[in-house]
């Protein structure tokens, strides 16, 4: 097998340093009916884009690459509600795997990375 073929195949392999998790953290007002509607629309659009709720107002999405993550960050930016605060954080799969979760005094293991099939 030629050397360049082996290098190319290694570069496309999924890596814990290449896989990205996107966190969308938000604090939106819900005092008026319009604000509650904006909150609901924003949340539903996040879910439609593949995000899942990790905690209240914290949504997370697994992406196979930074390039793919950029697409979802742009989509999130496009659906921002008129009021409130939205933050987007990106971390690698390796960093995500080091997350520690505590419920009261009981330690809980972090969620396993989602199984995704990438077709090229």
Q: Residue 101, Cα to own-chain centre: how many angstroms?
A: 17
**For the chain, which residues score pLDDT lower than 50?**
1-2, 5-9
> For the segment 98-108, what is each residue's pLDDT rounded down to a tens digit?
999 888 876 66
Segment (H or E) for 103? strand 101-103
Q: Given this model, what pLDDT does residue 12 score?
A: 53
Q: Which of 48, 44, 11 is nearest to 28 (CA)?
A: 44
Q: Looking at the chain, how many residues does it have?
A: 120
pTM for the model: 0.75
Q: Given this model, what pLDDT does residue 31 score?
A: 97
Segment (H or E) for 58? strand 58-63
Q: Given this model, what pLDDT does residue 11 score?
A: 52
Task: Determine the Cα–Cα distance for residues 55 and 40; give it in Å rounded to an integer.
Answer: 16
Q: Given this model, what pLDDT does residue 17 score?
A: 74
Query: Right CATH number for 15-108 from 3.40.50.720, 3.30.70.141, 3.30.160.110, 3.30.70.240?
Result: 3.30.70.240
Q: Given this model, what pLDDT does residue 18 score?
A: 87
Residues above pLDDT 70, as percent of the chain: 76
φ and ψ of 62, to 5 deg: -90, 130
């Amino acid at each position: 097998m030629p050397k360049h073929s082996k290098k190319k195949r290694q570069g496309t392999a999924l890596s814990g340093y290449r896989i990205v998790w996107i966190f969308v953290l938000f604090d939106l007002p819900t005092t008026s009916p319009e604000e509650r509607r904006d909150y609901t629309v924003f949340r539903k659009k996040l879910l439609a884009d593949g995000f899942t709720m990790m905690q209240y107002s914290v949504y997370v999405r697994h992406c196979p690459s930074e390039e793919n993550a950029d697409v979802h960050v742009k989509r999130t930016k496009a659906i921002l509600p008129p009021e409130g605060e939205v933050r987007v954080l990106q971390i690698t799969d390796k960093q995500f795997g080091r997350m520690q979760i505590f419920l009261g005094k009981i330690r809980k293991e972090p969620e396993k990375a989602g199984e995704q099939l990438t077709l090229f």
